[in-house]
Amino acid sequence: MNQLRNAKWMSERGHRVTILCKENSPIAQACTSENIPVAFVSDHRKYYDFKAGRKLAKILNDLYVTHLVIRDTRDMSVSVIAKRKAHHPVHLSYFMEMQLGVSKKGLPHTLRFKYLDLWSCPLNWLAEQVRTMTRFDQNKIVVIPSGLELSRFNQDISREQARKILELPQEGTIIGLSGRFDPQKGQLLLLQAMVLAKRDDFSICFLGEPTKDEGLEYFERINSFIRDHHLENRVFIRPFRKDIEVFYKAINAFVMASRAETFGMVTIEALASGTPVIASNSGGSPEILGHGKYGILFRPLDAQSLSETITQFLSGAEFPSELLEKASSVYDHHEVCQQVEKALLL
């Protein structure tokens, strides 16, 4: 959905935007509600699908697409084929969202990357991966963060009001974690840290639900852990809500417990809300949190380390909301869109 959000912003800035997607997909339906034009593409092989490449080239020709932006490496090969077969010049950009798992210096990757006009990375650590793990032209690498509508998180709502909306206790410290109930999100890790901390002066609020037809076993493990450790009065589970800014205003600190989030948009949302962040010292979190300037970092997947950082926070670690909100300003979507326009020479 980041693609849809970016398309909407660029459209509002006067650019002609079309999203290429599969028919009847969730993003296609969302585009309809947002009045974003779509063109339908079908499934294709990851590599050397020349038939799909020709079909994509026809779409580029028919719509006279001058800039093609992809966000998934699985679309790279077919896009290169389409670029080469288009009747007019097409600027091809890859906006990176996932880190590189292995080195991409082999000949097939190098040849494919040669046709990219731009490789955009949301953080510096990802740009460094591209420099060291590929043979891509370093002059075509840019760092452009993912954007956020900061005004959503600057609303004048008090903690008292937010907790009333979420039906949370008005008194006491509440540590929050949002996201679907999934082992990768770390809800169980946070519960384990709560027990290890051996403190009764804070509560936990989980915002999210199990993925439909998936994750029920993990969700039951969460509930069993709560019952077994008699935490029913200290752990609150609330369903996901679109006005997530209410959640950030209600809690005293936000935990990012995933093993390694490439970017972690929720971390930016918390900062924009002026809410301190406790995050795994991996992925993009250290850079976003200024390596400890805007939050506290703990060892990945280590419940003991997480419990120690929670104790550190409860013992008076201070992160003024003004400092956190200022740190989030670089992700303002207006600023980000300007950077995209400059990089794409629009």
User: What CATH number is associated with residue 275?
Assistant: 3.40.50.2000
Domain co-membership, 283 together with 170:
yes
pTM over 0.85: yes
Domain co-membership, 99 together with 165:
no
Q: In whole angstroms, what is the distance from residue 29 CA to residue 36 CA? A: 10
Q: In whole angstroms, what is the distance from residue 256 CA to residue 187 CA? A: 10
Mean confidence (pLDDT) of the chain: 94
Domain tally for the chain?
Answer: 2
**DSSP 8-state secondary structure symbol assigned to residue 150:** G
Domain co-membership, 136 together with 161:
no
Q: Could you tell me how far CA 236 lies from the centroid of its own chain?
A: 24
| Position with higher pLDDT, 264 vs 22 | 22
Q: Report the DSSP beta bridge partners of residue 321.
A: none
Domain co-membership, 87 together with 224:
no
Which residue range is the domain that position 66 belongs to? Answer: 2-148+332-343
Query: Within 10 Å of residue 80's Cβ, how many Cβ atoms?
Result: 20
Query: For 305-321, what is the mean pLDDT?
Result: 94
Sign of the torsion angle spanned by Cα atoms 209, 211, 213, 219: negative
Q: In whole angstroms, what is the distance from residue 327 CA to residue 272 CA? A: 8
Of 118-122, 154-158, 240-244, the one with minimum mean pLDDT is: 154-158
In the predicted model, is pLDDT for residue 325 greater than 70?
yes
Q: In whole angstroms, what is the distance from residue 11 CA to residue 283 CA? A: 31
Q: For 282, what's the count of Cα atoms within 13 Å in the CB-facing half-sphere?
A: 13
Tokens of 189: 């890790």
Give pLDDT, residue 215.
Answer: 65
